[in-house]
Structure 1
């Protein structure tokens, strides 16, 4: 019996207005992308709290994606500018604690870019797969 190959687990926080619409368009257009991504719809990328990302990693995610509207096109005016600044700081913290930068990604994807969404997911899955399983959850367990 063959041994099942490890597959990365990706958690994606998608803006309701743009990135979630792009994911929907990718599905309707039948663009193929890996199925090992769990999508969580949020009202805006700025509503994603850094604790949500840390909890995703602590819960066993191998990668986390946050996707929102293009800068300047946010339905909440400046939401993605706030998110960009917050995630820049979070990225530095994650690097400091040993999480490879490729495991946490932020992308700006419009609702009409279903092909970009599918490509982003496929690319991220391959990048995370090349790193192997994340050790973040095991390290958090040892601290508890």
Structure 2
């Protein structure tokens, strides 16, 4: 239905306004696989990655769908930074993005990303890194509709 979440109330509890524990906010979280097409380095962030840039398959090739800068552990970010450092490229592998300080990479690494929805311009909302996908597990990269 495209909802961000639902609100639920304990059935036996009478209606009372306020936050007393009888009401629950249940968030809808989606999860899909996207290709990593670059990253912004950071001296302060875990593993030196400020955020990774993501792409999905579109009608005319890869299309930038946003970035993610949360959900990394120090170990996963450090390993990812090493892997991305080996596949650098000079130009953006997807259309729809420009910027300074971006290290572009070949779109060969797939990541599982949890997110809450899409913006009106087809960018991920509230994205969080969940891990890398292995090509051996039948990875299917998200396709924009």
Where on the TM-score scale, by shorter chain, does this alignment land: which range? under 0.3
| Bigger relative contact order, structure 1 or 2 (CA pairs below 8 A, ≥6 apart) | 1
The normalised TM-score by structure 2 is 0.24
The normalised TM-score by structure 1 is 0.25
Larger strand fraction of residues: 2
Which entry has the higher C-alpha Rg, 1 or 2? Answer: 2
